[in-house]
Amino acid sequence: MSVHVIGAGLAGLAAACQLTELGHDVVVFEAAPHAGGRARSYFDKQLGCRIDNGNHLLLSGNISALSYLHRVGARRSLLGPAEPIFPFRDARTGERWTLRLNQGSFPWWVLARARRVPGTLVYQYLALRNLKHAKPDDTVARLFGGSGNLYSKLLKPLAISALNTMPEEASATALQAVFAETIERGGYATLPRWARIGLSEAFIDPAIDWLRAHGAEIHFSERVTALQPGQATVIATPPWVAAELLPGLTVPTEFESICNIHFKYQMPPGEAGFWGITSGISEWVFARPEVISVTISAANRYLDIAPDDMVRRVWAELVKLFELEADIPPHRVLWERRATLRTTPAQMALRPNTRTSIPNVVLAGDWTNTGLPATIEGAIRSGNAAAMALMKPNGKSL
Ligand SMILES: Cc1cc2nc3c(=O)[nH]c(=O)nc-3n(C[C@H](O)[C@H](O)[C@H](O)COP(=O)(O)OP(=O)(O)OC[C@H]3O[C@@H](n4cnc5c(N)ncnc54)[C@H](O)[C@@H]3O)c2cc1C
């Protein structure tokens, strides 16, 4: 069968790989001159090095992402500590701690004071079970009361980074979906991972090479504006493009931004290579070989701050937290305005299923109804699901 895939982000690439492996003739159309969509690397002339459009953190429980890397021969392209550790620093008090999960599935780490969140008691972790009973309209803050050390030092940073939405608005069921596949399964599913060299080197370039080596066609700078009648197609574009291609399709309509600031500065990686930051503007800090990269998720709340001001504030935070030189080094601000959908209960309800009203046209993308938040894992899983749905035209919808 001949299949067209529209969009060469991770969802489109995953669908293309799956379909190619199943022996279909795949043609990928990508509007940009390069693949990767919201997960890509490029050479930044001002900084004189390659950077990612944004730091992307995965966990070892992201099995679809890991299988995808395995398929395209890039399973060694991720990096991260051997243990499930998450070092944190608080921007207001300077307090430092490291969350140290244990490898197995029984969470005995909560019993050891030095491993858990400072200022928390063992019994308070029982509240995490509330997630299992979350209802579709529950928010993270409402479910956990929105105060206390467990909330402010663990649940809030997790919700902001995994859901890219402030916990007062973020869907608790979406957080549960992440918990169920990582923390609940134990430390071995919660090892932090990121691209060793860059996102393109890990997730994109190997997939393009693999697809071409297996006979798929890839056309760059080809924006698709209409579907070809009768043609089996995977629409793997952003939601607003999918709604243009398929009038009447219901899609999420609200988005959150993510701001990444890359500073040309070398800093020792510490025991994990990254830190979570609480009570500040920065959310995650990565010590990469040539740059310090700072991620600020759910960044719509900062949209009225000028980028230069943001740089000043973030650098001042880093100087204080990591004892760096006061002069601001060369830097690049990358502010992705529509980084992900807003993971609110209302927006979650607008996510469409894989199948559409046209039998041989299916949807893929992190914004479809994957059950997961808009992440690499969700995007890849949606691509796999789209490929399988085309294989079973009369099957049940996801
Ligand atoms: C700054 C940032 C940080 C992030 N951090 C993380 C993280 O830490 N962990 C994590 O798991 N996820 C993270 N994400 C989310 C992750 O990047 C996305 O979930 C994933 O890349 C989405 O892939 P996709 O294929 O669904 O969509 P996209 O990447 O948006 O791909 C859609 C593709 O369709 C193409 N296209 C659009 N219109 C047309 C057309 N008419 N014809 C042809 N092609 C078209 C686009 O050019 C694009 O390449 C982050 C995202 C951003 C932006």
pLDDT given at position 393 = 63
pLDDT given at position 316 = 98
User: For residue 51, how far is its CA from the centre of ligand 1 (angstroms)?
Assistant: 16
Mean of the pLDDT values across residues 52-77?
97
Query: Sign of the CA dihedral 274, 365, 63, 203?
Result: negative
What band does 398 get if pLDDT is binned at 50, 70 and 90? very low
How many residues belong to the chain?
398
Nearby residues of 70 by Cβ (< 8 Å), 6 or more positions away = none
Q: Is the pLDDT of residue 391 over 70?
A: yes
pLDDT given at position 394 = 61
What band does 397 get if pLDDT is binned at 50, 70 and 90? very low
Instruction: Please give the Cα distance from 142 to 332 (Å, whole number).
Output: 36
Instruction: Give the domains, in start order, of the chain with CATH numbers.
Output: 2-33+220-250+351-391 (3.50.50.60), 102-189 (no CATH)
pLDDT given at position 395 = 54
**Residue % of the chain over a pLDDT of 70:** 98
Mean of the pLDDT values across residues 232-254?
98
Question: How does 306-343 read in b/e, with b if 16+ C-beta sit within 10 Å?
Answer: eeeebbeebbebbeebbebeeebeebbebbbeebbbbb
Is 282 within 8 Å of 55 (Cβ atoms)? Answer: no
Give DSSP secondary structure letters for 36-88: -TTS-EEEETTTTEEEESS---EETT-HHHHHHHHHTT-TT-EE--SS-EEEE
- Tell me the pLDDT tens digit for each residue of 359-387: 999 999 999 999 999 999 999 999 999 99
The protein residue whose alpha carbon is closest to atom 20 in ligand 1 is 376
Q: Is the pLDDT of residue 396 over 70?
A: no
What kind and span of H or E run contains 340? strand 331-341
Nearby residues of 355 by Cβ (< 8 Å), 6 or more positions away = 362, 363, 389, 397, 398
Instruction: Please give the Cα distance from 32 to 204 (Å, whole number).
Output: 14
With CA atoms as reference, report the closest residue to 26 among 11, 5, 10.
5
User: For residue 379, how far is its CA from the centre of ligand 1 (angstroms)?
Assistant: 8
For tokens 């923390």, name the residue: 183
- Tell me the pLDDT tens digit for each residue of 187-204: 999 999 999 999 999 999
Q: Which strands, in side-by-side order, build the sheet including 232-235?
A: 217-219, 25-29, 2-6, 232-235, 361-363
Write down the mean pLDDT value for the chain: 96
pTM here is 0.97
Instruction: Please give the Cα distance from 242 to 244 (Å, whole number).
Output: 5
What band does 104 get if pLDDT is binned at 50, 70 and 90? confident
Q: Is the pLDDT of residue 98 over 70?
A: yes
DSSP class of residue 393?
T
Q: Is the pLDDT of residue 28 over 80?
A: yes
> CA gyration radius for the chain?
21
Mean of the pLDDT values across residues 24-43?
98
Mean of the pLDDT values across residues 51-78?
97
Mean of the pLDDT values across residues 204-229?
98
Choose the residue to mutate in 38, 63, 251, 384 for probing ligand 1, maximizing ligand atoms within 8 Å of C-beta: 38
For tokens 């429980």, name the residue: 61
The protein residue whose alpha carbon is closest to atom 19 in ligand 1 is 375
User: For residue 80, how far is its CA from the centre of ligand 1 (angstroms)?
Assistant: 23
In terms of phi and psi (left: phi > 0; alpha: psi -120 to 50; beta: otherwise), the region of 319 is alpha
User: For residue 9, how far is its CA from the centre of ligand 1 (angstroms)?
Assistant: 5
Task: Point out the ligand 1 atom lying closest to the alpha carbon of residue 365.
Answer: 26
- Tell me the pLDDT tens digit for each residue of 305-351: 999 999 999 999 999 999 999 999 999 999 999 999 999 999 999 99
Nearby residues of 80 by Cβ (< 8 Å), 6 or more positions away = 191, 192, 193, 194, 272, 273
User: For residue 36, how far is its CA from the centre of ligand 1 (angstroms)?
Assistant: 7
Residues with CB under 6 A from ligand 1: 6-12, 29-32, 37-39, 53-54, 56-58, 223-224, 236-238, 241, 258, 260, 336, 339-340, 365-366, 374-377, 379
Instruction: Please give the Cα distance from 49 to 266 (Å, whole number).
Output: 13
What kind and span of H or E run contains 258? strand 255-263
